[in-house]
Structure 1
């Protein structure tokens, strides 16, 4: 609930696409926790790391990060589940907010954490040598 209050207490000059992106991120996180029952999602720690909405609010690029020991295979399976459930997510978002149109959701794997750990590992090697 606290995160929703933060969403609606934004200053007016906070762009509409940023408010919509924030709303989508919060609501998708809630849907993942409470509505998605697929074991590939529930057994892995899946988070919505970022959402970028087009200026015309037609598309939302959703970046998904997951903590899994299976690596790339698990990430692809999770993305497949998310893409297959995109219509469900979109209809749930439409019910939760009164927008004229709900953006089409496009899911992408967020490699930021993997890249950060790879860079840290490289820096650790440099320090050791």
Structure 2
């Protein structure tokens, strides 16, 4: 019987929880304060983690620069909090799905409104 919940998935969820808490409480960079973590994927060897984020301000280069600058601090704090043998390198990737969803919702609302007029 295959495992329903792989170890890498559990590690990814724990990394997401820990990073969200660290960004909220520990990171002092104002560029990073308005970020929301939407997901984390970890490679099978646990050496790398893609951290997907979004922001109300959209994808700004300053936000990515702030996250990359804080990556070393965040990784060291993860190492203390999670007690993993290998703490993954953090790679930040902008997640545009929230913006796409809002745009599609707006288009649907416009289509429904125009149908009601006709």
TM-score by length of 2: 0.87
Quote the Cα distance in structure 2 between the aligned partners of 1:20 and 1:72. Answer: 26
The answer for the alignment partner of 1:41 in structure 2 is 32
From 71, 76, 80, the equivalent of 1:95 is 80
Deviation string, structure 1 residues 26-70 (Cα, Å, up to 9, x no partner): 10011111111111223x3x11110011111111000011112xx
* SS of aligned partner of 1:41: coil
Structure 1's 13 and 116: CA in aligned 2 closer, same or farther, altered over 3 A?
A: closer
TM alignment of 1:1-129, pairs within 5 A: 13-42=4-33, 44=34, 46-68=35-57, 71-73=58-60, 76-129=61-114
Task: Report deviation, 1:115.
Answer: 0.3
Structure 1's 119 and 13: CA in aligned 2 closer, same or farther, altered over 3 A?
A: closer
Q: Which runs of 5+ in 2 are unaligned?
A: none
Q: Which runs of 5+ in 1 are unaligned?
A: 1-11
